[in-house]
Amino acid sequence: MTRLSRRAFALAAGTAGLSLAAPGVLHAQSTGRLVVIGGGFGGASAARYARIAFPRLDVTLIEPKATFVTCPYGNLLLAGERTLPQITHSYDGLKARGVRVVQDWADGIDATAKTVRLRGGQTVPYDKLILSPGIAIRWNAIEGYNEAAAEALPHAWVPGAGEQTTLLRRQLEALPDGGVVGFAIPPNPFRCPPGPYERISMVASYLKKHKPRAKIIALDAKDAFSKQGLFQDAWNELYPGMIEWVPLNKDGRVTKVDAREKVFETELGTRHKVDVGNVIPPQSAAKIAIDAGLTNETGWVPVNPLTFESVRARDIHVFGDANIGQVMPKSGYIANSTSKVAVAAAAAALEGRPAPGPTVYFNTCYSHVGDEYGISVVGVFRPTETGFAETPNSGGVSPRGPLAQQREQRRLEALYADAWYASITKDAFS
């Protein structure tokens, strides 16, 4: 199991490394090999930051896709307000910075030999592994919801090359006026806590303009959600009578789906027939984190809150949606914010310096709910001995109040949301 391939041995011995290293990456005085798995907000930000802040590190990014489609702003695509190319990012910027980008699946991690096995057969050695693989969908956690069912009832929660999001968009376009759009929303924790409710809002915005007699039913496995008051105020004001939200205590938890008949069945056996159905299923850390033995009984990865090093394996730093970030949300902003702390800790260890001191983790999350109408939640977090804590008397959501009073606040937040998207994607991919 731990026997290295001949290729890996050659790499480890430094005899074949030359042919693999990108120009400009190879330094005689290299302080170590940083391998990043996952080219999303977390991994791409980590690779970019590592090249800027620690130029003597060799940085390799392993990512199976040639480009990255963001989850954020996918909801605007559903509303017809963004196109797929507008939310797709290439790795050219990272390559230009000297990141060696390997387009392949990381199939396994050998934490003892400190190697990553690629599906293509190659073995990549590391000194420090930066693991930001995101989520996996827990297929069949909802009875009947498997990969085949997702072709009829898209999740659109793991963007891939955008197939799922564009499928849901096509279904919405084909919806008859007067049709029903159903949402199945999972319990906590899951990627992007306000995401389902932004999605409901953006779909409502589209329906109001193009299919005003259509209805939305949102079946939720929770009794409360992120920015709830703000979202519900907006729904009442912008889309009156269109959206029915059914919480857990009103039998909102979907336990079974029939993909052929497009039926959502709840815990108490109520069957909801929909014309378009979006199932946001329960999730766990990505498969590679589970296979590497890094997850605990929760399905997520416990980490040292100062360094993001796995508590189960040395020299593997895990952040982004895959880790247990409570109370920090699983957001792109947190993945970006914490990626730098993980890289700084890894670089310090490689260069024989103590880990950087405690810092501040920070989240801003905007949601679009209508035209020129944005809301946000902000959080300032700090590491503690057992995890992460929200900094007292800070953060929180946008002020509530009728649109007539809050119009400028809502307009500005919609503008800032767009600026946020441009900024954070630059900070990850440029």
Partner 1 sequence: MTRLRPALLGLALALAPAAALAQSAPAPLIALSCAGCHGPAGAGEGSVPRIAGYDREAFVQSWAAFRANERPASIMNRIARGFTDAEVAELAAYFAALR
Distance in angstroms (rounded) separating the CA atoms of residues 425 and 40? 10
Q: Which CB, 9 or 416, lies closer to partner 1?
A: 416
Footprint of partner 1 (CB under 8 A) = 49, 52-55, 333, 336-337, 340-341, 344, 356, 359-362, 364, 376, 378, 380, 391, 393-396, 398, 409, 412-413, 415-416, 418-420, 422-424, 426-427, 430
Number of helical (H) and strand (E) elements in the chain, helices listed first: 11, 23
Residue 331 contacts by C-beta under 8 Å, 6 or more apart in sequence?
192, 193, 363, 365
Q: Which CB, 213 or 426, lies closer to partner 1?
A: 426
Enter the tokens of residue 316: 């593997």
Q: Which CB, 18 or 404, lies closer to partner 1?
A: 404
3-state SS string over 297-337?
CCCCECECCCCCEECCCCCEEECHHHECCCCCCCCHHHHHH
Q: Which CB, 72 or 252, lies closer to partner 1?
A: 72
Q: What is the nearest approach in angstroms of partner 1 to the Cβ of residue 354? A: 13
Distance in angstroms (rounded) separating the CA atoms of residues 58 and 50? 9
Q: What is the nearest approach in angstroms of partner 1 to the Cβ of residue 92? A: 16
Q: Which CB, 22 or 397, lies closer to partner 1?
A: 397
Q: Which CB, 139 or 362, lies closer to partner 1?
A: 362
Q: What is the nearest approach in angstroms of partner 1 to the Cβ of residue 158? A: 22
Q: Which CB, 299 or 332, lies closer to partner 1?
A: 332
Q: What is the nearest approach in angstroms of partner 1 to the Cβ of residue 344? A: 6
Q: Which residue's entry shows tokens 């991690």?
A: 109
Distance in angstroms (rounded) separating the CA atoms of residues 137 and 155? 9
Q: Which CB, 23 or 357, lies closer to partner 1?
A: 357
Strands (E), 250-298: 254-258, 263-266, 271-273, 276-279, 283-285
3-state SS string over 53-66?
HCCCEEEEEECCCC
Task: Provide the 3-class DSSP secondary structure of residue 248.
Answer: helix
Q: What is the nearest approach in angstroms of partner 1 to the Cβ of residue 77? A: 19
b/e per residue, 359-374, with b = 16+ CB within 10 A?
eebbbbbbbbbbeebb
User: What is the chain's alpha carbon radius of gyration, rounded to the nearest angstrom?
Assistant: 22
The identity of residue 335, as a single letter, is: A
Q: What is the nearest approach in angstroms of partner 1 to the Cβ of residue 128? A: 16
Q: What is the nearest approach in angstroms of partner 1 to the Cβ of residue 285? A: 23
Q: What is the nearest approach in angstroms of partner 1 to the Cβ of residue 5? A: 36
